[in-house]
Structure 1
Amino acid sequence: MIFTSVFGFTNIIRAYYLMGYGSIIWYILAAVTFFLPFAFMLSEFGAAFKDSKGGIYSWMAESVNPKYAFVGTFMWYASYIVWMVNVGTGIWIPLSNGIFGVDKTQTMSFFGLNGVQSLGLLGIAWILLITFVSSKGLDKIKKVTSIGGTAVALINVVLILGGLLILGLNKGQMAEPLTAAAFTHSPNADYTSLISVFSFLVFAIFAYGGLEVVGGLVDETENAEVTFPKGVTISAIIIAVGYAVGIFIMGAFTNWTFAFTQFSKADITLGNVAYVAMNNMGYQLGLALNLSDATAVTIGMWVSRYMGLSMFLALTGAFFTLIFSPLKQLIEGTPKEVWPKSFSKRENGMPIVAMWVQAAIVIGIIFLVSFGGEGATEFFKILVAMTNVSMTVPYMFLALAFLGFKKKENIHKPFEIYKSKSFYKIAVFSVTFVVGFANVFTIINPAMNGNLKETIFSIMGPIFFGLLAYFMYSRYEKKNNIK
């Protein structure tokens, strides 16, 4: 579940598309200064609160206070609402590649609607289907995430073995030349300024997002105080190394200029760039095998189809985890009086009413964004910007709560990595600073380039949901005379 929820294969190709080899340094930096320290914090939290059903809410409530925990958890939950909007509409790109070998979502039309509106319609149908299946119980979710995890693993094997095979056939000649400048400068004209380069850091942080989701399943884990920290630690190391190796291997078969400016005649977006790159991998494999150009094109088409099917299964697996776990932590952890009484109703062990309310909210946002008149490229840019910032801000809440967690001696800590006071303080500072620094640059960069709308979208989510959570909890305190 950790691997399915965190590791995103498309993050490798998006990173290479945006920054080339230069992205490796930022991914390693994000792993060392954010992901690994953060993973170790979650390991300690999870072991200490192994019987807690509220996940990260319970962790922060015990470590700081309930209001702080509610605001942080609600913002975090809201980010997954945005994630569901993003993936609910974007998941049809891999399916299109799986069926046709190319992304046809930008040109498809249902009932006379344009491509973006048709994607929105499919996204609405998808949310309804996933919610219905998930409402039948956790066993159904575990089966799908298992398939998704296998799909993620296999597509990475294809990337690495395919890249090494092409490299061998080309007698060790990398498609993208290895130079010192290549590891520090982006071939992408949009990522050459200092501010845009710094803003890329949030992409790296987002690539490691989702680890905290499994916090809501600690109480379901056997021998949790040992198993949970071990699972988190092993996963964190494998994921960090996997990203760096994957980006490097991309250069074995992807000449940046050829692949992203000449190979694809279609408009490249962050939503379809992975399929363009894997199509190119199949094409380059055909050429390396001295096959005809037509045969190489056919191989590229089939690699793209396999990639599409694998990513569809992987995203489906992640969706089943994320449509349930964040909601579980929000509803089961927080005071019941904050929510309508019907939210506590459970069927098949699931908060059934809350799940359908969640579905209605996601569908409403999909409808609003899809029918807002944006083109496909701008549509995905806005969604990715909203998701990145909304999803990473709550990490600072968790990191700062770790200070209170370590100071409270009454909390039993069966597993500790941070044994010295200075060690955990440095880790908290590192995680908080990196996340804050990355988000500031991500927010201001579009405005400095004349795109004020994207800046507003980036910052609107965290502010709105943070204030909404604060007033919701204040209302609960006032109603129940809690000081």
Structure 2
Amino acid sequence: MSDNTERNLTWKNLALMAFVMVWGFGNVVNNFANQGLKVIVSWVLIISLYFIPYALMVGELGSTFKDGKGGVSTWIKASMGPLLAYLAGWTYWVVHVPYLAQKPQSILIALGWVFTQNGNFIKGLNPLLLQSIILVLFIFFLWVASKGVNSLKRIGTVAGTATFVMSILYIIMVITAPKITGMKIATTHITAKTFIPDFNFAYFTTISMLVFAVGGCEKISPYVNNTKNPSKNFPKGMIVLAIMVAVSALLGSVAMGMMFDANNIPKDLKMNGQYYAFKMLGQYYGLGNLFLILYAVANMLAQISALAFSIDAPLKVLFADSDRRYIPESLTKVNKHGTPINGYKMTAVLVGILIMLPAFGMGDINTIFNWLLDLNSVVMPLRYLWVFAAYMAVRGFAKHKFSSEYKFVKNDKVGVGIGLWCFVFTAFACIMGMFPKSNIPVYSSQWYFQLTLNFVTPVVLIGLGLILPIIARRNNKNITASITEEIGQ
């Protein structure tokens, strides 16, 4: 196949593909719930100062390591060595543990909205009983994923696309609703102060959710070298992606402000906001609960697929390009479906603990849901740190080892400086995100409980990765000793 045939993606294709990968309606809802209409200025700042350089750095790394199969792990292995590559792979896997702990909650919530068309399906349940049900649900889907069932993933792709399309339609239909349906705007008292964030401690505890929303664009790096004239079209595609995300974030936030009073945000908006939005949209246009049911079904199927995929894929990333000196052989053992079954068991233990633990120290399901979502915004961006570390290495001390058709910036020192800025900002956002949000009474027992879990969870999850190389080293010694003994006999 000729090089021209392979390079068949235009900047338009690239921008659209990346937009579907990076963006989702939940990003709008969750950040509006945190900041109200002040989030509009926050979106402008985060996209211009963080997201654009992040996306362009990923483009350069993808072009530099176009044949790597392990993504970030490959970048780190080539530029910083196998031990750090293993830790990068471990981080990529382990940050999905809180994500997996929340997915069964999201499935149950969506199911409730499908059948009852309100948010009361699980509200009355005892938190311990509810989390036990969620644990059983997780174990069931863990078993399903271990069978190598790909149909769930295919269904999820269709459902995920449907929820994405409906999210864009939501923005268009709400923005036009006042003229078409006579809808009254919910946020009425609007001044300049409505949009300007208070850059105080409480504000900085919410920026991890913004970083979480725009992160993950390293998924598009394999497509750099399938792009026509990548040195020109890839950055163009990324800039268009940033514009699309900015427009979606800004108009989505405006739409939320039109539908919900930004000065009196519902306490359960993070948990149920997406469903409230589509329920109200159907009412505006005289269609009852049609939009709500369609969205809830599609979202439930997408969540099921995401759960199954996120159990399996991160483990494969961890094992794909990691040095066997750092991973015990027993963890890589696979069943007849090609599933690393002991890796699944390790996943079950860690996720099970995280599902059950908050039931003993948090009052209700809404608090637990919000906490897990906030914990995801603290833990998930930790994997982005490795992207920036790899970029600094490639443009810094290892710059003479690599070449790329596309460079984000020509000057190496400037490149390292931008990588350092993104690294420090991400770390700062994660640390600030550990502090409970303003809806939790400061210094209350629940505030201390959440703070402790927010701090301990990432430390323990990342720290466990340091134990595996020790176990692997001992296992390797035992195997070597056994072989030596057999040879001696």
TM-score, normalised with respect to structure 1: 0.80
Question: Offset of 1:5 from its aligned partner?
Answer: 5.0
Deviation track 1:42-89 (CA, whole Å, cap 9, x = no partner) reads 222222223222221121122223323333332332111111101222
1:246/1:107 CA distance change after superposition, 3 Å = closer
- The equivalent residue for 2:8 is none
Q: 1:246 and 2:246 equivalent?
A: no
- The equivalent residue for 2:485 is none
Aligned-partner Cα distance in 1 for 2:23–2:136: 25
Secondary structure at the aligned position of 1:97 is classed as: helix
Please say if residues 75 and 462 of structure 1, whose CA atoms lie closer than 8 Å, have aligned partners that are also in contact: no
Secondary structure at the aligned position of 1:54 is classed as: coil
- The equivalent residue for 2:144 is 132
Q: 1:395 and 2:391 equivalent?
A: no
- The equivalent residue for 1:461 is 457
Aligned-partner Cα distance in 2 for 1:6–1:93: 23
- The equivalent residue for 1:164 is 175
- The equivalent residue for 2:24 is 8
Q: 1:152 and 2:163 equivalent?
A: yes
Structure 2 counterpart of 1:315, one-letter code: Q
Structure 2 counterpart of 1:196, one-letter code: A
1:64/1:452 CA distance change after superposition, 3 Å = same
Q: 1:19 and 2:60 equivalent?
A: no
Structure 2 counterpart of 1:183, one-letter code: F
Question: Offset of 1:413 from its aligned partner?
Answer: 2.1
Q: 1:470 and 2:475 equivalent?
A: no
Aligned-partner Cα distance in 2 for 1:200–1:91: 25
Secondary structure at the aligned position of 1:103 is classed as: coil
- The equivalent residue for 2:279 is 279
Structure 1 counterpart of 2:175, one-letter code: L
Secondary structure at the aligned position of 2:271 is classed as: coil
Aligned-partner Cα distance in 2 for 1:47–1:39: 13
Structure 1 counterpart of 2:302, one-letter code: A
Question: Offset of 1:12 from its aligned partner?
Answer: 0.9
Structure 2 counterpart of 1:73, one-letter code: G
1:276/1:171 CA distance change after superposition, 3 Å = closer
Structure 2 counterpart of 1:449, one-letter code: V
Structure 1 unmatched runs, 5+: 186-191, 262-266, 287-295
Q: Give the % identical residues.
A: 20
Deviation track 1:221-265 (CA, whole Å, cap 9, x = no partner) reads 79557699949836555334322221122233333357x45xxxx
Structure 1 counterpart of 2:59, one-letter code: S
Superposition CA RMSD, Å: 3.5
Aligned-partner Cα distance in 2 for 1:241–1:63: 36
Structure 2 unmatched runs, 5+: 1-16, 478-489
Correspondent of 1:381 among 370, 377, 380: 370
Question: Offset of 1:204 from its aligned partner?
Answer: 0.8
Between 1:227-236 and 1:374-383, the stretch displaced more is 227-236
Q: 1:452 and 2:448 equivalent?
A: yes
Question: Offset of 1:400 from its aligned partner?
Answer: 2.2
Aligned-partner Cα distance in 1 for 2:195–2:36: 8
Aligned-partner Cα distance in 2 for 1:355–1:2: 29
1:123/1:445 CA distance change after superposition, 3 Å = closer
Structure 2 counterpart of 1:29, one-letter code: L
Please say if residues 24 and 247 of structure 1, whose CA atoms lie closer than 8 Å, have aligned partners that are also in contact: yes
Secondary structure at the aligned position of 1:418 is classed as: coil
- The equivalent residue for 1:180 is 192
Please say if residues 102 and 373 of structure 2, whose CA atoms lie closer than 8 Å, have aligned partners that are also in contact: yes
- The equivalent residue for 2:69 is 53
Aligned-partner Cα distance in 1 for 2:229–2:465: 33
Between 1:13-22 and 1:272-281, the stretch displaced more is 272-281
- The equivalent residue for 1:426 is 417
Aligned-partner Cα distance in 1 for 2:37–2:273: 16
Question: Offset of 1:96 from its aligned partner?
Answer: 1.4
Q: 1:121 and 2:143 equivalent?
A: no
Q: 1:87 and 2:103 equivalent?
A: yes
Q: How does 1:56-75 map to 2 (within 5 A)?
A: 56-75=72-91
Please say if residues 166 and 252 of structure 1, whose CA atoms lie closer than 8 Å, have aligned partners that are also in contact: no
Question: Offset of 1:184 from its aligned partner?
Answer: 1.2
Please say if residues 76 and 84 of structure 2, whose CA atoms lie closer than 8 Å, have aligned partners that are also in contact: yes
Q: 1:77 and 2:93 equivalent?
A: yes
Please say if residues 102 and 304 of structure 1, whose CA atoms lie closer than 8 Å, have aligned partners that are also in contact: no
Q: How does 1:336-375 map to 2 (within 5 A)?
A: 336-346=324-334, 347=336, 350-370=339-359, 374-375=363-364
Aligned-partner Cα distance in 2 for 1:46–1:426: 19
Matched positions, count: 448
1:336/1:277 CA distance change after superposition, 3 Å = same
Please say if residues 328 and 468 of structure 2, whose CA atoms lie closer than 8 Å, have aligned partners that are also in contact: no
Structure 2 counterpart of 1:426, one-letter code: G
Aligned-partner Cα distance in 2 for 1:226–1:330: 31
Aligned-partner Cα distance in 2 for 1:331–1:126: 22
Secondary structure at the aligned position of 1:324 is classed as: helix
Question: Offset of 1:172 from its aligned partner?
Answer: 9.6
Deviation track 1:355-396 (CA, whole Å, cap 9, x = no partner) reads 454245423432444466642132123212321111122322
1:240/1:394 CA distance change after superposition, 3 Å = same
Between 1:400-409 and 1:170-179, the stretch displaced more is 170-179
Structure 2 counterpart of 1:151, one-letter code: A
Structure 2 counterpart of 1:464, one-letter code: V
Structure 2 counterpart of 1:363, one-letter code: G
- The equivalent residue for 2:13 is none
Aligned-partner Cα distance in 2 for 1:156–1:66: 42
Please say if residues 199 and 442 of structure 1, whose CA atoms lie closer than 8 Å, have aligned partners that are also in contact: yes
Between 1:421-430 and 1:383-392, the stretch displaced more is 421-430
Secondary structure at the aligned position of 1:51 is classed as: coil
Q: 1:309 and 2:297 equivalent?
A: yes
Aligned-partner Cα distance in 1 for 2:295–2:153: 23
Secondary structure at the aligned position of 2:405 is classed as: coil
